Structure 1
Amino acid sequence: MTSEAGQLTLDEAYSIASRVRGIQGKKRVGRKVGFTNRAIWPVYGVDQPIWGEVYSEGLFSTDQPVNLARYSEPRIEPEIVLGLKHAPIAEMDNAQLAGCVEWVAPGFEIVQSIYPGWKFSVEDSIVAQGLHGCLVLGDKIAATHDVLTGLAEVPLALFKGAEAIESGKGENALGGPIEVLAHLVSLLSDTDQLQGGELVTTGTLTDAWPVSPGEQWSAGFGGVMDTELSVRFT
């Protein structure tokens, strides 16, 4: 690992990640916030959320199969995604932050680990671009007041084929997606601030589950979202 014996601080890890992104030169379409589900912190040996970037080349619709060959030890995470109309700032309260959101959508983030067996530190995960692989984005839902205030109560059921895998709820991610947005805004430096038009995927509502070619996964999002999402892996 990169940070054994405390060799890296959080600031250093984010600095390395930023330098790597600069070399790659990819088109950013948004951010991912990871480890927002505190229930899984002990599983991965972490103790706080992290963030990374989402790129246009890694954004998929539900009718596009995802080729897993490009990812290392891939896993699937069902998430609620926010689409921003306006740029949020740190001085905003949660109601003002919610006012920056134009749409919400179901999402599957495919995460990956370059560290064998998913063994890493928080700093390692930051250096590895927040463990982000790609994002499968479902149908967008207008961010009305009722939708935004009901996101924390959204129930979720995750399936592999016809097999029920796990259930979750919007509040599993730091209390709700708007709370995740607030936390992300507090984490970002002046040079990394969110912009209108970006999306934010707010973290898994279940554990992250290993996926393999040939599988089809789906999730049902209830409550104010009332929608489904599916993805096929090749």
Structure 2
Amino acid sequence: MTGTTWTEESVADELLACEAERRDRPPFTDEWDGLDVETGYRIQDRTLQRRLDRGERLIGVKLGLTSRAKQERMGVHMPFVAWLTDAMLLPAGLPVPQDKLIHPRIEPEIVFEMGARLAGPGVGPVEAMAAVARVYGGAEVIDSRYADFRFRAGDVVADNASSGAFVTGSTGLPPEGLDLALEGVLLEVDGAIVDSATGAAVLGHPAEALALAANELAARGLAIEAGWIVLTGGMTDAVPAPPGSSVACHFTHLGSVHLHGGPSPDGAAPDGGS
């Protein structure tokens, strides 16, 4: 499609088509220099409206690239906000939905369940945490409509910050008494610990990510609503989740989250490769 004159509408069309057809593509910024972050957010909102029109329900927001590890790996040095719908929620115990994703990767996250509405601008971390009802350990299964996860800032914002699926653990604790900057996680892949981090990896404290989300949404005339789920961003770099793989996120106080790579979408025997 080289030479295509891209618009916000046609990029939204293409991103949803790539998702539905499980195909990736080059980043749009290879051809469209005008796809900046603000334009990406408008495209993101267009794709959300189409999801809602087809029956999905908005249940929260997610933050992307909140850890230095993720920013360094992706070459994009700022965090982003994106949407969560009920179609992205993966019930505990179910495998990674390989038949719906292109090249899934898993990252551990600290997850908030909101007890009160949180509206910016000017929200700080103390105010943000006061609106949280419960805290969970979780894992996001990120995906990207771009080949090799190669993108610039506008591309990834338009692509809903590489949304795929997410799962939360069964241990939900009130925020009082938790030191989330020190909340640790061990990332286990196929029985071996491959990475570790604490909540401080997420902008210094997950509350900072929550406040950032509220303030970013306020600039668009929106707020974080009571009852919503907020994924605060990957604590470590993401690991591939091919068919047959096994990934676990072991948190200090928030329990463990286990995910199996599941079967290959084409029915072939999984080999655990990437």
The answer, yes or no, to whether TM exceeds 0.5 is yes
Of 198, 203, 220, the match for 1:174: 203
Correspondent of 2:85 among 50, 55, 73: 55
**Structure 2: how far apart are the matches of 1:144 and 1:135?**
21
Match of 2:150 in 1: 119
Higher strand share: 1
How far does residue 190 in structure 1 lie from its aligned partner after superposition? 4.3
Aligned to 1:2: 28
Unaligned runs of 5+ in 2: 1-26, 263-274
Report how far residue 39 of structure 1 moved: 2.7
- Report the 3-state secondary structure (helix = DSSP H, G, I; strand = E; otherwise coil) of the residue aligned with 1:80: strand
- Higher RCO, Cα 8 Å, sep 6+: 1
The structure having more radius of gyration, on CA atoms, is 2
Mapped to 2, the partners of 1:74 and 1:124 lie a distance apart of 18
Counterpart amino acid of residue 10 in structure 1: V
Q: Deviations over 1:82-135 (max 9, x none)?
A: 000101122443222111000011111000111111110011001111101001
For the aligned residue pairs, the C-alpha RMSD in angstroms reads 1.4
Within 5 Å, give how 1:6-85 maps onto structure 2.
Answer: 6-25=33-52, 26-85=56-115
Distance 1:70 1:226 in 2: 28
C-alpha displacement of 1:24: 2.1
Find the aligned partners of 1:151 and 1:52 in 2 and give their Cα distance.
Answer: 22
Q: Please state whether the residue corresponding to 1:83 is helix, strand or coil.
A: strand
Instruction: State whether residues 172 and 254 of structure 2, in contact with CA within 8 Å, keep that contact through their aligned partners in structure 1.
Output: no
Where does residue 18 of structure 2 map in the other structure? none
Q: Determine which of 146, 150, 157 is the counterpart of 2:177.
A: 146
Tell whether the 8 Å contact from 1:33 to 1:184 is kept in structure 2 after alignment: yes
Partner amino acid for 1:134? A
TM-score by length of 1: 0.93
Contact 1:103/1:140 (CA < 8 Å) preserved in 2?
no
Counterpart AA for 2:149: W
Q: Do the aligned partners of residues 127 and 226 (structure 1) sit closer, same or farther apart at CA in structure 2, a change above 3 Å counting?
A: closer
Whole-angstrom distance in 2 between the partners of 1:23 and 1:197: 22
Paired with 2:36 and 2:42, the residues of 1 have a C-alpha distance of: 10
Q: Tell me the number of residue pairs that the alignment of Structure 1 and Structure 2 aligns.
A: 230
| Percent of residue pairs bearing the same amino acid type | 25
Q: 1: CA distance between counterparts of 2:151 and 2:175? A: 39
Q: What TM-score comes out, normalization by structure 2 length?
A: 0.80
Q: Does the CA-based 8 Å contact 2:181-2:206 persist in structure 1?
A: yes
